[in-house]
Amino acid sequence: MAVRCSKATRRRSSSVKMAAPLATCTKEEQRSVTRFLRSEGVKPIEIHRRMIVQYGDEYLSLQQLYEWTRKFMNDISSVTGFPRPDQAHRVVTPEAIAAVEAIVKEIRHVTVNEIAGHLDMSHGSTHHIVRDKK
């Protein structure tokens, strides 16, 4: 049996705040909450105001919030990000890490560009592997 609340009770309960802000959260969690609140008809500016209280500076910017609400209104239901066309694909796999380590062990004074060229990897991915292995 469903319990119905009066409009006054619903208004009071919607303004209840959590006792403490959420310390950690993922972007996917934030987008899911945004999608849920938007489906209930909450305006983006109100979503942003409420979420800043809970997530602080870690929450999406207002511009990002508007972008995601537009996506949700256009029947995009996934809350995971999509790769940008100009964004390079990082190839930091265990095999790539092992290959970089093997080259560095064999030739101690090799440059990042030489490793990248030899393994057909980007300079950035190669640098990432070399930097994290020190």
Averages of pLDDT over runs of 10 residues in the chain (134 residues) are 42 51 74 86 90 81 85 72 58 84 90 89 85 70
Contact 51, 30 (CB under 8 A): yes
DSSP 122: -
Burial label, 44 (beta-carbon count in 10 A; 0-12, 13-18, 19+): middle
Domain boundaries, the chain: 17-73, 94-132
User: Which tokens belong to 72?
Assistant: 């949700």
pLDDT for the residue 52: 85
Going by CATH, does the domain composed of 17-73 fall within 1.10.10? yes
Whole-model pTM over 0.85: no
How many Cβ atoms are within 10 Å of 112's Cβ, its own excluded? 18
The confidence score (pLDDT) of residue 9 equals: 41
Structure tokens at 38: 């938007």
H or E segment at 88? Answer: none
pLDDT at 82: 58
Give the per-residue pLDDT at 46: 92
